[in-house]
């Protein structure tokens, strides 16, 4: 598709995706040293949350309270947020909801849960999103490498993929390079790296690895600077 899309990385897994609609994915601003702006500047139509971990749920509650935007998430996480009187839309793996832009939930190999007052609350399974808003984007969430990425390619044919490369809690650059070869999008934007001590990664090595073995272009994002696609 040839529609214009603008994507802005705010560090870690936080992205603004602007086609006809404005989608915010995993809006982690408070405590995210890569973010150049605060959550108060976010005015999304929709927030897509991949899982309940605090570095992904992030500032979702504050942004949704202040803007009245819709939150889309897997059923259990949507239920949790719905109990806080936020506007939520739930879905599950293999399903799609059309909120102007289309959101589909795909698996991620990871864990989930919300921490509240030292207690763990069930947040269902961790997920990735396919977002169709002119172009088709795959945000993988936190995940290990898994072979069903081939099915994600077959079913949705994402043109742009955001993949975690930081290791320890997700794929590292070796695994993400294999993921790139399974998904073969036009563009990969790496994420979930160099935020903390635990996820340092050589993003230039990742770019060279992918671009020397596939036709995919790796765009190294700069926090706060929009990428026009």
Q: Using CB under 5 A, which residues numbered 113 to 172 contact Ni ion?
A: 142
CA distance 58 to 61: 8
Of all residues in this chain, which one has the CB nearest to Ni ion in the complex?
53
> What are the CA-CA distances from residue 121 to residues 52, 114, 170 (Å)?
9, 5, 21
Q: Which of 22, 53, 184, 207 binds Ni ion (CB under 5 A)?
A: 53
Q: Among 4-12, 19-27, 51-59, 160-168, which window interacts with Ni ion (CB under 5 A)?
A: 51-59
The Cβ of residue 203 has, within 10 Å, a number of other Cβ atoms equal to: 18
CA distance 12 to 35: 8
Please report how close the Cβ of residue 198 comes to Mn ion at its closest, in angstroms: 10
Nearer to Ni ion, 57 or 149 (CB): 57
Is residue 192 part of the contact set for Ni ion (CB under 5 A)?
no
Please tell me whether residue 67 adopts helix, strand or coil conformation: helix
Residue 19 · residue 134 · CB < 8 Å:
yes
Please report how close the Cβ of residue 56 comes to Mn ion at its closest, in angstroms: 6
Please report how close the Cβ of residue 15 comes to Ni ion at its closest, in angstroms: 16
Please tell me whether residue 6 adopts helix, strand or coil conformation: strand
Residue 63 · residue 47 · CB < 8 Å:
yes
Q: Using CB under 5 A, which residues numbered 30 to 59 contact Mn ion?
A: 55
Please report how close the Cβ of residue 16 comes to Mn ion at its closest, in angstroms: 18
The 127-146 site mask, x for binding Mn ion (CB under 5 A), equals ---------------x----
Under the rule (CB under 5 A), what is the footprint of Ni ion? 53, 142
């Amino acid at each position: 598709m040839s529609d214009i899309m603008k994507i802005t990385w705010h560090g870690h897994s936080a992205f603004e995706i602007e086609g006809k609609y404005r989608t915010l994915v995993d809006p982690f601003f408070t405590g995210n040293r890569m973010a150049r702006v605060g959550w108060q500047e976010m005015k999304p139509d929709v927030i897509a949350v991949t899982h309940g971990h605090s570095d992904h749920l992030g500032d979702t509650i504050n942004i949704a309270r202040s803007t009245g935007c819709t939150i889309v998430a897997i059923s259990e996480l949507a239920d949790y947020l719905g109990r806080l009187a936020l506007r939520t839309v739930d879905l599950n793996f293999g399903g799609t909801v059309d909120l102007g832009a289309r959101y589909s939930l795909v698996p991620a190999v990871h864990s989930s849960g919300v921490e509240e007052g030292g207690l763990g609350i069930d947040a269902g399974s961790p997920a990735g999103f396919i977002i169709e808003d002119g172009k088709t984007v795959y945000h993988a969430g936190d995940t290990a490498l898994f072979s069903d990425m081939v099915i994600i390619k077959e079913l949705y044919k994402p043109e742009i993929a955001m993949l975690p490369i930081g290791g320890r809690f997700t794929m590292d650059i070796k695994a993400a390079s294999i993921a790139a070869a399974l998904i073969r999008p036009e563009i990969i934007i790496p994420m979930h790296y160099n935020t903390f001590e635990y996820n340092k990664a050589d993003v230039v090595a990742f770019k060279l690895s992918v671009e020397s073995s596939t036709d995919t272009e790796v765009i190294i994002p700069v926090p706060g600077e929009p990428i026009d696609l």
